[in-house]
Structure 1
Amino acid sequence: MFNPTRDQVRQFFTEAWHKHKAGGVLTSLETMAVDLMREHPEYHADLEDPEIANADFSVEQGRTNPFLHLSMHLAINEQLSIDQPPGIKAAYQSLLATRDHHEAAHIIMEALGEAVWESQRLGTPLDTEKYLDLIRRHATSR
C-alpha cells in the first residue's frame, strides 16, 4: 500500500500543478489531481508558493490545508470509482439529485473527516456504516 509522507504529498501536488502550467505531460493520477486543483482556484497561489509547501496549517490559523483538502478529494474519487465502502456510489448519486458534483464531494469529505476523527478519538476502525449514514442524511436533508 502506498503511504506517502506529508512532504511527498505536497511535492506531488505542487509538481503536478507546475507541469500543468508548463504544458507538460501528466500521468493519469496527476491529471486527476490537476482537474481537482482547477476546481479550487483559491489554492492556485498556494501551489505555486514554495513556502506554503512547507507550512503548517493549524486550526487556529483558520486556513484550510490545500494539500489535505485535495488529498481527500482524490481519496473520495477513488472510493467512488470502486464503490468502497459498498454503497458510497449510491449515496453520492443521491446527493447529485440536488447538488453539483463538487458540492456533493465536499459533503462526503465532511462525513469522512467526522468518521476518521471519531475513529481516531475512540481508537477503533473506521465505522463505514456511520460514514455512509452521514452522507445519506445530507442526501435527504434538502
Structure 2
Amino acid sequence: MFTPSSNDVRRFFCEAFRKQRAGEVLTPMDAIAADWIVQHPEYHDELLDAEEAVARDYSVEGGRANPFLHLSMHLSITEQVSIDQPRGIKAAHDLLAARIGAHEAHHQIMECLGETIWTSQRTGLPPDQEAYVECVRMRAGR
C-alpha cells in the first residue's frame, strides 16, 4: 500500500497544477486535483514552487490555512462519493449538493469528516462511518 508523506502530497498538487497550467497530459488523479485547484485560486501562489511548498509551515500556531490538507480532503470526498464508501455518502452528498452546490457541499462534508477523524483520534476508536454520513445528511436537511 502506498502511503505518501506530506512532502509527497505537496509535490503532487504542485505538479498537477504545473501540468494543468502548461497544458500537459494529466493522469486521472492529476485531472481531479487540477479541477479542485482551479476552484481555489487563493491557493495558486502557494502551488507554484514545490520546494517552497515543502518548506512551508502550516501548523495551527503558524495561523495559515493548509491548502494541501484542504485539497486532499476534496480528493478524499470525491473518491468516497464516486464509490459510495462509506455507504450512503453519495446520496447524502447529492442531497446537500442539490441544495447548496457541489463545491460548498464538499466544504460542509469536510466539517463532518474533520469531526469524525478528530473523534476517532480522541477516543482511539475507528472512525464512526454511520455518524459521519448522518452528519452530512443533517446538513443536507437544513
What is the TM-score with the length of structure 1 in the denominator?
A: 0.94
- The structural deviation recorded for 1:54 is 1.9
Q: In structure 2, how many angstroms separate the alpha carbons of the residues matched to 1:109 and 1:67?
A: 13
What secondary structure, in the 3-state scheme, does the structure 2 residue paired with 1:26 have?
Answer: coil
Query: Does the alignment pair 1:96 with 2:97?
Result: yes
Residues 20-75 of structure 1 show CA distances to partners (whole Å, capped at 9, x for unaligned) of 11121111110110001000000000001332332121223332101111111001
Contact 1:46–1:53 (CA<8 Å) still a contact in 2?
no
TM-score, normalization: structure 2? Answer: 0.94
Following superposition, the deviation at residue 139 of structure 1 comes to 0.9
- Give RMSD over aligned pairs: 1.1
Instruction: Name 2:22's counterpart in structure 1.
Output: 22
Name the residue aligned to 1:126.
Answer: 127
- For 1:30, the aligned partner's letter is D
Code of the residue aligned with 2:137 in structure 1: it is: R
1:98 counterpart SS class: helix
Q: Would you say 1:11 and 2:11 are equivalent positions?
A: yes
Unaligned 5+ segments in structure 1 are: none
Structure 2: runs of 5+ lacking an equivalent: none
Q: In the comparison of the two structures, how many residue pairs are matched?
A: 141
Could you list the runs of 4 or more consecutive aligned residues of structure 1 that deviate by over 3 angstroms after TM superposition?
none
